[in-house]
Structure formats: structure tokens, C-alpha cells
Amino acid sequence: MERIASMGTRDADRKEGERLARLLIVDNEKIIVDGLVGYFLDLKLEGLAELEVFGAHSGAEALAILEETKIDLVLSDIRMPGMSGLELQREVVRRWPRCKVIFLSGYDEFPYIQQAMRIGADNYILKTEGYEAIAEAVRKSLIKQQESAQFQSLLDISREQFQAALPLMGKDLMTRLLLDDPAALTQRQRQFEKLQIMLDGDEPVLLMIGRIDHWRGICSPSDRALIAYSIQNIAEEYLRPFLVHYSFVCETSRIIWFLQPRSDHENDDAERLQRRALLFVQHSVEDIQATCRSMLHISLSFAIGRAFKEWPAIPESFEALKLLLNRGLGMKEEAILLEPSEPFGSAFADKDQEGNGFPVSYHIHKLQNHLENGERNEFYSVLGRVFAIPQEGEIGASIRLEIALSLGGIFLSAVNRWGIGQEVARKMDLDVFSRIGVDRDWKADKDAFLRLADILFANRSQQGVDQGTELTEKIQNYIKSHLSDDLTMTRLGTVFNHNPYYLSRLYKQIVGISLLDYITEMRMERAKQLLVESDLRIQDISKAVGFISEGYFYRFFKKTIGMTPSEFRERPKL
């Protein structure tokens, strides 16, 4: 089996849309394989950025390569000892269905041509037609394969999959709106149109939460999903005459509705229309409850917003309705609760100067997400709002303790999971978090949290740089010590446990040159060193630096250095 060699367009010359392609050349005659591999490695095929070329001298060797590497095109002799080209083609299609096969033959064998084309060969070329004809056939086949990835059936499948995914994408968008996600809020109208959500992002909306009070022994996830879907359909029948709405299931037992009056009632003034819609909702939920009880044997409770609100105010209403359902009022089942004018509970007792009416737990959840995602600016913005929550009096002291303990849990969990305890301990006293309490100086606690946040974000940023630098150093050391071995992207991807295409892009991003260029540079440097410092034959040097044949080494060396290996060795030493 020939070891793989890879050459192609340098990154600076790469055009948009060009991609890496892999060519496998199979022939039982070594001279043919070496010649074709060398030719294609020297060649720039228009429309293809890089070409990895593999060589094999039998069907068995070709299958060994196909077991480990995705191949785009096989260029194979049709008649070989052992496994024929036709038999190889069947095995190729079994492993890589989209791989194309071009057959080569020394003779115009019409029966073989018929059979090859009948079982799906892409082309059939006589070896006597020459390298240029073979190269053009390879180019056309690879370009056709690249274009076929965009054919209509794939688009149709994508559309079907998009339609099937609409409920999940819609749920994700609406959940982010409830969690006060700035991007979701800003782009809501455009996203509504894309996701076919029939709500108006510029008009006020009413929020309603339904809760399944008791599942009555229904345990299966599929059965519960069916019940929730049925509840949504029942609600649709009652709400549809007067309201446009969107609903989704949240936390298994809860269903959230976003409600707006229908546009065909636009003759009424907005305030009057909203009052009528709110009254309609409050009375419709009675019918929804009764129908679900009768048809599904399920009891439902509802918490309904007190008014139609602008979209930026929806997260606060959501938190208030959740708290309302959690605490309840009187009846434990089939309750109908209306959002009070002033939310109750210590978490809502006072608003800060920014109008912050969210419970501490809401902010803590956002802080945790921002910390995990490395969103520094967003994290400090939310942290500032948390620190601005009033903490005077007895209730304030309790909130302060909740904030301190919650933040301590987030930070220390990150320190432990990221394995940076010793590093953090060198920069600050972590014992401060074990002494948090109501009696401590709150300013000192806040300073400690800010200091730890700075350390965590700095570590996260540096860690990414360090990991990238460490990986590139490992790659370079591996290349230098394996110049005579397989150094294709496929092999390097296996060694370093990365996708070959991603590894190549990552290396280029960090180092500034392509991985293939670095491999070529190291091979040339080692070749020059051996030519000057050793008495090895040029044939042996070509093998030592990973070239598949002496002839190809000669051509590539002269193309790169400007003289042949012999001329380089014989030049006067300075």
C-alpha cells in the first residue's frame, strides 16, 4: 500500500466554494500508481482547493484505505489480479455511497465498459489517452459530485425537516423571550415570520400559564405528551374566535400561552379591545377546564396576566405568574388565578432603581448561563442588576444572604469543574466564601465576587489560547518525528482526535499557515539537511522525508527549491 501524500492549493489561493477532495488511485502496476499520484500532487484542479491523493496496488489495499478514510473518487484499473475493479466498485459504494469511480484500462474492452457503466461507474478512460485526459475526467467528476450535494431532493428534505422542527424552534425562541434574552427580543418579529408564529412583535401580548394539577396515574412520556397536545387543541377551539395565540409545553406539566386579539377586531380602539380580550380569556378558561375534566379526566389550573403588556415586560409577568401558581390561593386544583397589581413575596417586595422586579433565582440562572458560555459583558451586566437589588431591613438581609450563597455556589462549582482551584487560590483567599453571612460587610463580599469573576473569565480566555498553542506544538512535534510516515489530514485527525477539516482550519487560524504547507516545509528542510550532512542515496532521502517515489521527490524538490536534489548536494559549501 502506498502511503498517502497530500498537496494542493495554498490557503492564500483558495477561492470561496472550493473544498478538500480525496482521490484513491488503484492499479496493480506500481509504476502507474506512482506516476499518477505524482502527477495529481503536482496538479492544481480548478474548483478544488486541496487534493489528498492515496495510492494502492490491489483491491485489498484499496479496501484497507476505504475502511479508515472517506474517499470522494476512486480511479481504478478495471482488470487486476485478485479483486477486479468491478468488484472493488461494489465495495466502494457499500462503504461510501456518494463516492464516484472512474475505470482505467489498457484496452478498449466493450463488455467491461458496459458492465461498469451499468453498475454506476462515473467514467471509463483508456490509459493510452494520457494524463491530461485522465485529469480532466477526475476534475469533472469531483466538481459534479460537489454540485450534486446541492440537488433539489436535499432541499426538499431540508424543507420537510424544517417544518418538523418548527415547534422546537418556536419553543426555543419563546423561552428565550421569557428569559429576557436581548437577541430574541430584538429579532422577535423577523423570527416570528421565519418560524410561522402568528403573533405581532409590535403589539402588546397577554401571558397565561396552565398547569396540569394531577396526572391521574399517567406515567408514560408519550401519553403525557398526547394529553398536553390535546389540551392545546381544546384551548385552540375556545380561544380561536377572538384571539391569535401561540402555546408550548414547559416543564412537562405546564403549558404557556401568548395571546393577542385578532386583527379583524381592529375597528375597536386598542384599549377597549384588550379589555374585551382579557375578559374573554378569563371566562374561556372555565370552559377549557370543564372540557379537559370531561374528555381527558385531567384537572387544570391557570394563572392569567393582569393586562396585555409590551414584549420587554413579558419576563417579569412570567416570573409573577410562576410564583402565583407555585404558592396558589385557596384551591389546590382547578384554580384560576389572576396576576395581582403588585406581585407578592419577598422577591418582589421592592424594585431597584432600574425597575428590577425579578426574583434572585431568575438572575442566578442567567449568570450561570453567561459564565458557562464565556459571555463576559452580559455576565457583568446581570451581576450589576443583582447587586442593585435593595437589601435594607429584615427582608433585605435575607435577600442578601440568598444572593451571596447563590453566587458562591455558581463560582465555586465553576472552579471545581474547570479544575482551577489551585490557580485561583494563588490569586485570592477562597476561604472568604465559607464566611459569608448576614453580619459580614456586604461591600467586601461584592468585591470578592467581582474579583473571582475577573479571575474566572481571564482563565477561560487564557485557557483557550493555551489549549490551542499546546495542540499546535504537539502537531508540529509529531510531524517532525514522523516525516517518513503518513501525514495526511485523515491520519493527523485520527492521532489528535479531531475532524481532519476542523484540525486544518484550527491550525491555520492559530499559526497563520496551512498544515499542508507546514508539512511540506518540514519535509524540504529535512531533505536539505540530509543532502548536505549525509551520504544517503537520494532514493533513500526521498523515503526518509515521506515522498512516495524518487521521481516525484525530484520534481517537487526542483519546483520548490529551484534546483534538483543532486544540484543542491553538489553546490559549493559556504
- Determine what percent of the chain is predicted with pLDDT higher than 70: 83
pLDDT at 239 exceeding the cut of 70: yes
Cell of 81: 489480479
> To 10 degrees, what angle do helices 500-511 and 442-481 make?
110
| The pLDDT value given to residue 152 | 53
Q: What is the pTM of this model?
A: 0.52
Task: Work out the average pLDDT over 36-43.
Answer: 81
Q: Of 533, 517, 505, 532, give the one whose Cα is nearest residue 476.
A: 517
The per-residue b/e assignment along 284-299, b for 16 or more CB within 10 angstroms, e otherwise, is: bbeebbebbeeebebb
Check if the beta carbon of residue 6 is closer than 8 Å to that of residue 52.
Answer: yes
| The pLDDT value given to residue 373 | 79
| The pLDDT value given to residue 208 | 96
pLDDT at 12 exceeding the cut of 60: no
From residue 132, alpha-carbon distances to 145, 220, 553 in Å are: 20, 65, 21
> DSSP assignment, residue 344?
-
The burial class, CB within 10 Å (0-12 / 13-18 / 19+), for 204 is middle
Q: Helical H runs in 496-571? A: 500-511, 515-533, 538-544, 550-561, 565-570
| The pLDDT value given to residue 6 | 46
For 125-183, the pLDDT digits (tens) are: 888 888 888 888 888 888 887 766 555 556 667 778 888 889 999 999 999 999 888 88
pLDDT at 464 exceeding the cut of 70: no
Strand order in the sheet with 48-56: 2-8, 48-56, 19-26, 73-77, 100-105, 123-126
pLDDT at 300 exceeding the cut of 70: yes
For 301-317, the pLDDT digits (tens) are: 999 999 999 999 999 89
What CA dihedral angle connects 414, 418, 423 and 428, to 10 degrees?
0
pLDDT at 531 exceeding the cut of 80: yes
For 40-88, the pLDDT digits (tens) are: 877 766 655 577 888 999 999 999 999 888 898 999 988 888 888 888 9
Cell of 431: 476561604
For 91-116, the pLDDT digits (tens) are: 988 888 888 899 887 766 666 666 66
| The pLDDT value given to residue 525 | 93
For 196-230, the pLDDT digits (tens) are: 999 999 999 999 999 999 888 888 989 999 999 99
Check if the beta carbon of residue 201 is closer than 8 Å to that of residue 311.
Answer: yes
The per-residue b/e assignment along 130-158, b for 16 or more CB within 10 angstroms, e otherwise, is: eeeebeebbbbbbeebbeeeeeeeeeeee
Cell of 78: 478495471
Check if the beta carbon of residue 509 is closer than 8 Å to that of residue 544.
Answer: no
| The pLDDT value given to residue 10 | 42
The pLDDT mean for the chain works out to 82
